[in-house]
Structure 1
Amino acid sequence: MPEGRSVLVTGADRGIGRAIAAAFVAAGDRVVGTYRTGRPEDVPEGALAVQADVTDTTSVDAAFTRAEEAHGPVEVLVANAGVTRDALLLRATDDDFAAVLDTNLGGAHRCARRAAKGMVRLKRGRIVFIGSVVGLYGSPGQTSYAASKAALVGMARALTRELGGRGITANVVAPGYIHTAMTDALSESQQEVYQKAIPAGRFGEVDEIAGVVAFLASDAAGYISGAVVPVDGGLGMGH
């Protein structure tokens, strides 16, 4: 088997997920990057693009099987795929709430469960959930998104207690406002308002998230598990 670890990153065709997948490729790892409705060519060069829907157990299993066939058992899982259906509470629908929870939380659970099969046999593994500052800091109009991201903390800590003795860690990276297509679409005045609330005085960059994920997946982070690492310029102040 070639050098480098077998890594699977969900939602690797854009934004933070794409930067994370690219960072692992640059480090010499063997990477599968999943995409749901985008284009395979949007997954970083050097990564194997695999279509997957994290809300579907069969699709998740197929993606992991493809990764195992190409690169061996997955040693690093980054559960990044997520959606938002923002609405004020009184206007929120049951369907929107269920869709956000099923993708952001259910999807992470499906991927972690499937990854754990190989990691337990290997007696090592790294699971990194991409949460959000919103999960612990809160944000109006984002009850479903905040709930889904906050729940990842409980999941990571339960997995730490369940799998920690087998050399497997589970952590959450909680980004704040990051330069992506979503923040770029905000008006200049809106961006100024948000930036004033951030002690660092700026939005973060996707590579700054990728760097923290890479560290948590490294040997140097072998004694870190069940942690929430904010990458938010001080916005959440460790909430």
Structure 2
Amino acid sequence: MGLLEGRTAVVTGAARGIGLEIARTFIDSGARVVIGDIDDEAGAAAVTELGGEDAARYVNCDVRDGAAIEHLIDVAEEAFGPLGVFVNNAGVTRDATMRTMTEEQFDDIIAIHLKGTWNGTRAAAGRMREHGGGAIVNVSSISGKVGLKGQTNYSAAKAGIIGLTKAAAKEVAFKNVRINAIQPGLIRTAMTLAMPQHVWDEKMAEIPLGRAGEPSEVAQVVLFLASDMSSYMTGTVLEITGGRHI
């Protein structure tokens, strides 16, 4: 049996990239997964790629809207049963130096990453309390640990996710709801591969293991935190960085 055999999982921002790999890993481990995203075409393609509606469903969900998150969970529970795992993965970037960044660029990132994670954590924890427990995994970033140039908005939001994770974990642990976070570093995705070569080389020079991470390596850590293998862990933050910024 897989580590998530028979469990219902929701992953936001999972129409592509790391989120899609997390969904795939969960399904391979026995879960059935509902994807929340705003890209309907990519979401439908993801469901097909993941094995069809017996294994996965897609719901259009803007994580900035708390009611949309509740609807996402409603669909998951109606389709597959009580919510057992929730991953707050949805995110975008709006990079710019602080001098040139607009208020809209700052507000967008805070709303999607930080408020979106709060919406997801709050809604998922509420359902899991009723079911006798569950696991929530929040996706932060190494940017939230060290701060990266051109990302005052993103670094602030990702640092906030860590504080949110720790505070929320203390509130719901007595109901056997565990909340943990991950901080990925340089992961090989379409977005990172589009970086200018000199930026990629600068980041690579900071990594003791000497290579970028793969989405599957992030997904395996999320699987660990979602499963009973991490049953005595809550409020923790796991770095997936190849040793960068240790």
Length-normalised TM-score, structure 2: 0.92
Query: What residue number does 2:27 align with?
Result: 25
TM-superposition CA deviations, 1:116-139 (whole Å, max 9, x none): 221001121101001100001110
Counterparts of 2:92 and 2:76, CA distance in 1: 24
Query: What residue number does 1:133 align with?
Result: 142
Counterparts of 2:87 and 2:67, CA distance in 1: 19
Counterparts of 2:183 and 2:199, CA distance in 1: 22
Could you list the runs of 5+ residues in structure 2 that have no partner in the other structure? Answer: none
Describe how 1:35-54 pairs up with structure 2 within 5 A: 35-39=37-41, 40-43=43-46, 44-45=49-50, 46-54=55-63
Q: Which runs of 4+ in 1 moved over 4 A?
A: none
Deviation at 1:57, TM superposition (A): 1.9
Query: What residue number does 1:162 align with?
Result: 171
Letter in 1 for 2:45: D
Counterparts of 1:187 and 1:147, CA distance in 2: 24
TM-superposition CA deviations, 1:10-62 (whole Å, max 9, x none): 01111110000000011110110112124223324132111111011222121
Query: What residue number does 2:6 align with?
Result: 4
Residues paired across the two proteins, number: 235
1:119 aligns with 2:121: no
Q: Name the Cα RMSD after superposition.
A: 1.2
Letter in 1 for 2:192: T
Deviation at 1:212, TM superposition (A): 0.2
1:34 aligns with 2:25: no
Letter in 2 for 1:50: V
Equivalent position to 2:107, from 98, 105, 109:
98
Length-normalised TM-score, structure 1: 0.95
Could you list the runs of 5+ residues in structure 1 that have no partner in the other structure? Answer: none
Equivalent position to 1:181, from 181, 184, 190:
190
Letter in 2 for 1:23: T
Counterparts of 1:37 and 1:71, CA distance in 2: 22
Name the SS of the counterpart of 2:83 in structure 1.
coil
Deviation at 1:191, TM superposition (A): 2.2
Counterparts of 1:53 and 1:73, CA distance in 2: 22
Identity %: 39
Letter in 2 for 1:20: I
Describe how 1:77-92 pairs up with structure 2 within 5 A: 77-92=86-101
8 Å contact from structure 2 (residues 206, 245) kept in 1: no
Counterparts of 2:157 and 2:196, CA distance in 1: 27
Query: What residue number does 2:230 align with?
Result: 221
Equivalent position to 1:207, from 209, 216, 224:
216
8 Å contact from structure 2 (residues 15, 39) kept in 1: no
